[in-house]
A and B are shown apart, each in its own frame.
Chain A
C-alpha cells in the first residue's frame, strides 16, 4: 500500500503540472486582458502596468516565471485586486468554501446513507416510496430554485434564519447555504445507497448469513459494506466539488468564497487568480480521488493493489 500511495502521489504531480500548463495558456487565449477596461487606459500607464506584471515578456518566459513561483508556493499578485497576492485571496476564500462544503458533505452523507438504508430495508413500502420521491426532487430541483425557496420560507416568512450575508449572524448564517449545497448530494447518496443495499441484501453472501442464523446486526454490516462502494466512489468528486465552492450558492447567499473568486477572476481576466483557483480545485479533485481509491481498497480486498 505505501508503495502504491507513493506512485499515486507522483502521478498526481504530473497531472497537476498538465492542468497548470493547460490553464496557463488557455486563459491567455481568451480575448482581452486584465487591464482592458471599457475606457482604454493611457498607453503609457498600460505599458508600465504590463511591465510591472511581466506581461510584456514572451509567453514562455512568463510561463517559466509562474512555474518557478508556484514551486515555492507563490501564486503571484492578483491583477484585479491590487495590493493583494493571490495567495492572500485564496487563504481568505478557500476556508469559507471548504468549511461550508465539508459541513454539507457530512450532512449529505449522514442523511443520504441513512435514508438509503431505511428505503432498502423497507423496500416497496411507504417509507421507501417517500424516500424515492424526496430524493428525486432533491436531484431535479436546481440550486437556483431551491435557494430562493428556502430564503422565502425560512427567512422572509418564518424569520428563523438570515437570508444571506457573511459578516455576522453566528451559526445561523451557515444553515441555508449548507442545506442548499447538501440537498442534491444527499439525494444522490440516498439513491445510490438504496439501490446498492437492495442488491446486496438479495445476494448470495447474505443468504449464507441467514442460513447460519446470524443476527440482523451482522447481516446489515455485511450488506452495508457491499453497498458503500458505489457511494464512496460518488463521494470523491462530490467532496471536491462541494469544498471548492458553488458560484450559484455563494452568489445567492452573498458568501465571499472560492466559487465566486474563481468566476470573478475569469471575468476580470485576473490570470493569476484563475490559475491559483485552478490549482486549488485540481489539487482537491486529485486528493479526493486518491482518498476514494484507498477507501475502496480498504472496503474491498479484491481491488487491493
Chain B
C-alpha cells in the first residue's frame, strides 16, 4: 500500500520584489498511516511553508513544484474545489496561536460545527450534538456552557483544545500540527501533547508535528525530518538522531535554547536608521577648572536596515542605553542621526512627534515602565490618543484588544492592572503598547533581562514573529550574548562608549577578535549551558 503522504522533489518559491526566493528545495518525506512524524527546524527553515504547499495553502505569491501524493493520489496542483474536499475532512491542521487561528467574532461552537456541516453533511442539530461530544473528548469541561463562548473567554490551553476538536471532527487521516504548543506554558504543553497522542491512538490518524523544539519531539514522535534553509538535512528515528546527529543544524537544534540565528534581511534592504559620529557628553564631577564632561558615547556610527536586527552588547555602563536614547533623540547629543533618510536634528517638535510613532522604545523593567494606576487597556491604547486622536474609545479598546492578541495575551486582560500580571506578561504588554502604533523601528533595551529563562524564550520567539510579520527593524541592546545570538544579524560590541568590534553575528561568535568580546562570550556560554539544563528539566517534568 502506498504511504499516506509521500512528498518528493518538492520546491517552494515565493515571489518578492520581482525575484523568486526559494523556501524549500527538493523536499522528500513520507508519512505512514497512524505514524507521528516530526518536522523540526529553526524558524524560517521552510518547514511550515513545505506543509502549507503540500496542502495547497500557499499565499498568492507562492508556488510549488514536485509531487505530493496523498493516499496514492497526486494532490499538488489540484483545483481549490478538489482540495477543499480533502482539507478539513481527510487532512486537517492546527496552528501555533489558537487565539488568532480561531475567529474572535464567532462562538467556538459555531466554529467546530462548520466543518461538520460542510464535510460531514450533518444537520445543524446533529452537528451541534457532535461538537459538544468533541468538546468533551478534547477535555473542555462544561462543554455545554463553553459552546457559546467567544474564543477570548477561554484560556490559551482551552483554545488549543477547541482547535483540536475542530481538527479531529471528521476523523481525519492526517493532522498537521504547526508548533501547537509553542505559545503555551510547560504544564499546558504537556497536557496538549498527551491529548494529541491519545487522540492519535484512538482515531488512528497520522500526525506531522512541526516544531523547533527537540524536547517536545522527543516524547512524542516516532521519526523526524530536520530542515535547514529549505532542505531536509537529516532524517531517522528520533532516538538515533538525538544520539548521533549527523548535521550541524541538528546539533544546534538539540543544544539551542534560545533557538539559534535568525534569517538575515535581504542585502538590498533600505537603510532605516543611520548614525554618524554620534557622541553624548554628560556633565561630570566639578573641578577647579569648571565642570569636566563625561563622554558616555564616543563617535559611534551605525546603519540599521529594514527588517534587520542590530545587536548592541557590552557590560553595564558601556553606553548602550545612552546610545539608544541619543538615536531616538531623547537625550542631547552631537553628530547626525537619520531615520528613513530624514535628519532628525533638523526636525521641529511637531515633525519629530509624528516620526515618533515609527520608532518605539521597549525597556528592561516592564513593571517600572507601566503605570500601576492605569488598566492594561488604557496603557496599551495610550499612544493612539496622541497619534490617532480621531479614534473613539470603543475603537481604541478594539485596537488594544487586537494588540494584546498579537503579542499572545488574552484580551480579557484589558481591564486588569499591571501588578496582576507576571513579568513575561508585563513585557508583552509593553510590546503591545509599542506595536499598536505599527512602528518600523523598535529599540529594545534589555527587553528580556528581567525575565526567567522560560519567559525570556517566549518573548524572544514573539519578537521574532513580530519582526517577520511586520518587517520591523530592531536595535537590540543586551548584556546577554545568548539572547543577542538568537536575535541579531549584526553585532556592535561597546566598551566605555566606543565600538570596539563589529560584524555579522556569526563572525563575532565564531571568531571574536577583541579580548573584551571573548570575555563576554565566555560568560554567555555559561548561561547557555544553564538554559540547556533547565530545558531538559522542564522536558522531564512534563513527561
Q: Name A residues whose Cβ lies closer than 8 Å to a Cβ of B.
A: 203-205, 207-215, 218, 222, 225-226, 229-230, 233, 292-293, 296, 299-303
From A211, A218, A233, contact of B87 by CB (8 A): A211
Shortest Cβ distance from residue B401 to the other chain A in the assembled complex, whole angstroms: 5
Contact at A204–B105, with CB atoms within 8 Å? no
Contact at B100–A211, with CB atoms within 8 Å? no
B81-120 CB mask vs A (1 if < 8 Å, else 0) is 0011111110011010100111111110000001100110
Shortest Cβ distance from residue A140 to the other chain B in the assembled complex, whole angstroms: 18
Q: A205-B103, A215-B118 are in contact. Are A210 and B87 (CB under 8 A)?
A: yes
B333-363 CB mask vs A (1 if < 8 Å, else 0) is 0000000000000000000000000000000
Shortest Cβ distance from residue A198 to the other chain B in the assembled complex, whole angstroms: 12
Assembly CA distance A126 to B86 (angstroms): 33
User: How many B residues, CB 8 Å from partner?
Assistant: 36
Contact at A301–B104, with CB atoms within 8 Å? yes
B105, B153, B395: residue with the most chain A Cβ atoms closer than 10 Å: B105
- Closest 4 pairs between A and B when the two form their complex, measured CB to CB: A212-B88, A213-B87, A301-B150, A213-B84
Q: A213-B118, A233-B394, A302-B401 are in contact. Are A222 and B105 (CB under 8 A)?
A: yes
- A residues less than 8 Å from B83 (CB atoms): 213
- A residues less than 8 Å from B166 (CB atoms): 212
Besides A214-B114, A233-B395, A303-B401, 14 new A-B residue pairs in contact (Cβ under 8 A), listed by A number? A204-B101, A205-B100, A211-B93, A212-B87, A212-B88, A212-B118, A214-B84, A214-B115, A215-B84, A218-B114, A218-B118, A229-B398, A301-B152, A302-B401
Q: Name B residues whose Cβ lies closer than 8 Å to a Cβ of A.
A: 55, 57, 83-89, 92-93, 95, 97, 100-107, 114-115, 118-119, 150, 152-153, 166, 392, 394-395, 397-398, 401, 411
Q: A212-B87, A212-B88 are in contact. Are A204 and B100 (CB under 8 A)?
A: yes
Contact at A301–B114, with CB atoms within 8 Å? no
- A residues less than 8 Å from B397 (CB atoms): 303
Contact at B88–A302, with CB atoms within 8 Å? no
- B residues less than 8 Å from A207 (CB atoms): 57, 95, 101
Contact at B392–A225, with CB atoms within 8 Å? no
Assembly CA distance A301 to B83 (angstroms): 32
From B85, B87, B107, B398, contact of A302 by CB (8 A): B398
Q: A205-B103, A301-B152 are in contact. Are A210 and B118 (CB under 8 A)?
A: no
Q: A301-B104, A301-B105 are in contact. Are A211 and B92 (CB under 8 A)?
A: yes
Contact at B152–A205, with CB atoms within 8 Å? no
- B residues less than 8 Å from A299 (CB atoms): 105
Please list 15 pairs of residues, one from A and one from B, whose beta carbons are closer than 8 Å in the complex, sorted by A's number: A207-B101, A208-B101, A211-B55, A212-B114, A213-B88, A213-B115, A214-B118, A215-B84, A225-B106, A229-B398, A296-B394, A299-B105, A300-B105, A301-B150, A303-B398
- A residues less than 8 Å from B97 (CB atoms): 204
Shortest Cβ distance from residue A237 to the other chain B in the assembled complex, whole angstroms: 9
Assembly CA distance A301 to B93 (angstroms): 25
A208, A211, A301: residue with the most chain B Cβ atoms closer than 10 Å: A211
- B residues less than 8 Å from A212 (CB atoms): 87-88, 92-93, 114-115, 118, 166
- A residues less than 8 Å from B394 (CB atoms): 233, 292-293, 296, 303
B57, B87, B92: residue with the most chain A Cβ atoms closer than 10 Å: B87
Assembly CA distance A230 to B392 (angstroms): 11
Assembly CA distance A299 to B394 (angstroms): 13
Contact at B118–A222, with CB atoms within 8 Å? no
Smallest Cβ-Cβ distance to A300: which chain B residue:
B105
Assembly CA distance A230 to B399 (angstroms): 11
Assembly CA distance A204 to B119 (angstroms): 21
Assembly CA distance A293 to B395 (angstroms): 10
Contact at A214–B150, with CB atoms within 8 Å? no
Shortest Cβ distance from residue B18 to the other chain A in the assembled complex, whole angstroms: 15
Assembly CA distance A205 to B151 (angstroms): 11
Smallest Cβ-Cβ distance to B405: which chain A residue:
A302
Contact at A208–B95, with CB atoms within 8 Å? yes
Assembly CA distance A83 to B394 (angstroms): 46
Q: A213-B86, A233-B395, A303-B397 are in contact. Are A208 and B119 (CB under 8 A)?
A: no
- B residues less than 8 Å from A229 (CB atoms): 398
- A residues less than 8 Å from B118 (CB atoms): 212-215, 218
Shortest Cβ distance from residue B345 to the other chain A in the assembled complex, whole angstroms: 35
Shortest Cβ distance from residue A290 to the other chain B in the assembled complex, whole angstroms: 11
Shortest Cβ distance from residue B163 to the other chain A in the assembled complex, whole angstroms: 8
From A208, A210, A303, contact of B103 by CB (8 A): A208
Assembly CA distance A23 to B394 (angstroms): 27
Shortest Cβ distance from residue A232 to the other chain B in the assembled complex, whole angstroms: 10
- B residues less than 8 Å from A225 (CB atoms): 105-106
- B residues less than 8 Å from A302 (CB atoms): 104, 150, 152, 398, 401, 411
- B residues less than 8 Å from A215 (CB atoms): 84, 118
- A residues less than 8 Å from B105 (CB atoms): 222, 225-226, 299-301
From A205, A210, A296, A300, contact of B57 by CB (8 A): A210
Shortest Cβ distance from residue B44 to the other chain A in the assembled complex, whole angstroms: 18
Shortest Cβ distance from residue B341 to the other chain A in the assembled complex, whole angstroms: 27
Q: A222-B106, A301-B152 are in contact. Are A211 and B114 (CB under 8 A)?
A: no
Assembly CA distance A211 to B118 (angstroms): 13
Shortest Cβ distance from residue B471 to the other chain A in the assembled complex, whole angstroms: 14
Smallest Cβ-Cβ distance to A210: which chain B residue:
B57
Assembly CA distance A302 to B397 (angstroms): 9
A203, A210, A230, A233: residue with the most chain B Cβ atoms closer than 10 Å: A210
- A residues less than 8 Å from B153 (CB atoms): 301
- A residues less than 8 Å from B95 (CB atoms): 204, 207-208
Assembly CA distance A109 to B306 (angstroms): 39
Shortest Cβ distance from residue A213 to the other chain B in the assembled complex, whole angstroms: 4
Contact at A208–B401, with CB atoms within 8 Å? no
Assembly CA distance A209 to B398 (angstroms): 23
Contact at B89–A213, with CB atoms within 8 Å? yes
Contact at B401–A233, with CB atoms within 8 Å? no
- A residues less than 8 Å from B55 (CB atoms): 211
